[in-house]
Amino acid sequence: MKLIMNGKDSNLEEGLTVSQLLVEQKVKMPEMVSVELNGKILKRSEFENTKLSEGDKVEFLYFMGGGNVSN
Amino acid sequence: MSLTEKQIERYSRHIILEEIGGIGQEKLLSSKVLIVGAGGLGSPAALYLAAAGVGTIGIIDADRVDLTNLQRQIIHHTSDVGLEKVKSAANKMLAINPDVSVKTYHRFAKADNIRDIIREYDFVIDGTDNFPAKFLINDACYFEKKPFSHAGILKFYGQLITVLPGKTACYRCIFNAPPPAGVVPSCSQAGVLGVLAGVIGSLQATEAIKYLLDLGKLLTNTLLTYDALAMDFRAVKLSRNPNCPLCGENAEITELKDEEQPVCDLKSCKC
Ligand SMILES: [Zn+2]
């Protein structure tokens, strides 16, 4: 299926969930990512059961600090 | 307030801009901006806002200048190592522009002091380097109804958003709460390209000036992300989150409190 991942056209396996997409995209620390699906921020508890479909717009938004630390 | 001859000369490149003019410059001179953090993001923001003639600039920071800061915190010079960051920053702002009145707060921004400070300002710049502080500023600005610019930087990436509390998406609309302890990379693993702080901090100053002068369109409901390696800026559209714990429909945060600092506490960690 075709969807738009972080503004880029991507071709992905049919029926992927958000959790699976995080794995597929090799996100090392999913706890540091907020996911926006078609303009709506998902709850973390929704990652597991939210299936992606053709034409979806997905954004991974990363926690960023100030370049010291912990950031 | 009317501009002196020296001021008309100093700010001539602002004044000749039709959108600013003498009236806009006078407005800047009577405006108050608070910068939280005199570090990588706060440095360029403070320098540009002082140069622009923002009349009152407050700056909060509990740290002293350290040699490892100088790679990116351009308001501090080698001879300032050991000095309070707020003092060092105030010296540079006043050297650039004696029109500016600088208020220094040599302390950590905490739940029990930040609202009283924020209340005195028109706009707030979040130039902090840790998540508890970022959530604290977001929440305090919400309770005080103060507009602010949020930003973060990491490695070669940066992001920022302007928040008009109660009207546009806030930090908690995107990131519900600080990341759990244990997943945040430790000091030694993280790093940042110094100039990145300059790019993002300057954009924060731009938003402050736009807000103060009611110019153009603010970066609200939009997270601007910057990838220095790809040299790519992208505007990610957002909207207020009905599930936001602060500004959502069933908000559970009703008062300001300090969030835990995961992994690395600021005192023991020389980041
Ligand atoms: Zn919110």
Taking the CB of residue B209, how many other CB atoms lie within 10 A of it?
A: 22
Q: What is the rounded average pLDDT for all residues in chain B?
A: 93
Going by C-alpha positions, the residue among B70, B17, B16, B22 that lies closest to residue B43 is: B70
Calculate what percentage of chain B has a pLDDT beyond 70.
Answer: 93
Give the separation between CA B137 and CA B262, rounded to whole angstroms: 17
Centroid of chain to Cα B260: 21
Residues 6+ apart with CB under 8 A from B35: B42, B45, B46, B49, B57, B58, B59, B60, B124, B125, B127
Q: Work out the minimum CA distance from B238 to partner chain A, whole angstroms.
A: 6
What are the structural domains of chain B?
31-268 (3.40.50.720)
Q: Which residues of B touch A63 (CB under 8 A)?
A: 131, 152, 175, 179, 184
Centroid of chain to Cα A16: 11
The pLDDT score that the predictor gives to residue B262 is 55
Separation of CA B68 and ligand 1 centre (Å): 35
Decide yes or no: CATH 3.10.20.30 for domain A2-62. yes
Calculate what percentage of chain B has a pLDDT beyond 90.
Answer: 88
Cβ <8 Å between A31 and B183: yes
Q: Give yes or no for residue B187 having a pLDDT over 60.
A: no
Extended strands (E) in B134-207 = 148-154, 157-163
A-contacting residues of B 43-62, CB under 8 Å? none
Q: Give yes or no for residue B269 having a pLDDT over 50.
A: no
Task: Show pLDDT as tens, one digit a residue, over chain A (71 residues).
Answer: 999 999 999 999 999 999 999 999 999 888 899 999 999 999 999 999 999 999 999 999 999 886 543 32
Separation of CA B229 and ligand 1 centre (Å): 31
Q: In what order do the strands lie in the sheet with A33-37?
A: A8-11, A2-5, A57-62, A33-37, A40-41
Beta bridge partners of B160: B151, B224
Query: B265 pLDDT band (50/70/90 cuts)?
Result: very low
Give the separation between CA B190 and CA A64, rounded to whole angstroms: 11
Return the axis-axis angle of helices B42-52 and B85-96, rounded to nearest 10°.
Answer: 30
B60 within 8 A of B86, measured Cβ to Cβ: yes
The pLDDT score that the predictor gives to residue B181 is 73
Query: B18 pLDDT band (50/70/90 cuts)?
Result: very high
Partner residue opposite B236 with nearest CB, options A29, A44, A61: A61
Q: Whole-model pTM above 0.90?
A: yes
Calculate what percentage of chain A has a pLDDT beyond 90.
Answer: 82
A-contacting residues of B 126-165, CB under 8 Å? 127-131, 134, 152-154, 157-159
ipTM of the complex: 0.90
Residues 6+ apart with CB under 8 A from B156: B193, B196, B227, B228, B229
